[in-house]
Amino acid sequence: MADLDTDRIAAAALAVADKHGVDGFTMRAVAEALDVTPMALYHHVQDKAALVTLIVDTAIRKRPLPPTTGVWQDDLLAVAQWMRQGMSKHPVVAQLRRAYNVWTPAMLQMSERWLSLWQQSSLDLQDAVLAATTSSMAISGLVKEEMLFRTMQHPDEKTLAWLPNSRMMFHSQPDRDAQFDLVVRSLIEGLHARLTLNQSAATRRSIARRRGVVKK
């Protein structure tokens, strides 16, 4: 037990989670990986949620957020790439975090960065928050679907024989990194353009109301 510390525990727990998934992630499995008793493990972590918290913070600490460049669109893309790399390397971490409702300051640094970058976009605060939450959910979903598509069993050739468009899509081998960047940049630019347009229209209506052109 003297040699047991949080770094060793976190490394072993992450390895167990990566290998066995959410269902196989137990205190006993982690204790066995460390060659200690479960009771010895409980001297360092209170319960499984605390162990998940330790994993989340360790995974993030190993991969700090990318430095900013001052160009908010590029910086948003860099954070999206960071998120994709982390989810691809350890997909079970996000699953455990949701299963045990874990939130940590280290994890929330990404949310802080994400909204602060959208606030640099010239959108008003309400629209920046809308853009930040919407784009974050969309990118998370994109990454999950990308990982599923890479491992899923595709339709067989007989099924695709009469579906030439579907066949082309399933047989395509795009540059996944370039594809991800294209989608994220399009999402960022599209949200910004649409919300800017809405913001401009709202401003024009407000000015018109003040001038008495239209009724409120």
CATH, residue 103:
1.10.357.10
Rg of the chain over Cα atoms, rounded to whole angstroms, equals: 23
**pLDDT per residue rounded down to tens, the chain (216 residues):** 447 888 899 999 999 999 998 899 999 999 999 999 989 898 888 889 999 999 888 888 888 899 999 999 999 999 999 999 988 888 888 889 888 888 888 888 889 999 999 999 999 999 999 999 999 999 999 998 888 877 778 888 888 888 999 888 888 888 889 999 999 999 999 999 999 998 766 555 555 565 565 554
Specify if 194 maps to a domain: yes
Report pLDDT for 13: 92
Q: For residue 90, what pLDDT is reported?
A: 87
Q: How many domains does the chain have?
A: 1
Residue 161 lies in a domain: yes
Query: Which pLDDT score is estimated for 1?
Result: 45
* 189 is a domain residue: yes
* Domain-located, residue 83: yes
Residue 180 belongs to domain spanning: 67-210
89 assigned to some structural domain: yes
State residue 156's pLDDT score: 86
Predicted pLDDT of residue 203: 58
Using H for helix, E for strand and C for coil, what is the string for the chain?
CCCCCHHHHHHHHHHHHHHHCCCCCCHHHHHHHHCCCHHHHHCCCCCHHHHHHHHHHHHHHHCCCCCCCCCHHHHHHHHHHHHHHHHHHCHHHHHHHHHCCCCCHHHHHHHHHHHHHHHHHCCCHHHHHHHHHHHHHHHHHHHHHHHHHHHCCCCCHHHHCCCHHHHHHHHCCCCHHHHHHHHHHHHHHHHHHHHHHHHHHHHHHHHHHHCCCCCC
User: What confidence score (pLDDT) does residue 64 get?
Assistant: 86
The answer as to whether 158 is a domain residue is yes
Q: Which two tokens stand for residue 101?
A: 């409702």
Q: What is the pLDDT of residue 2?
A: 46
pLDDT computed for residue 187 by the predictor: 97
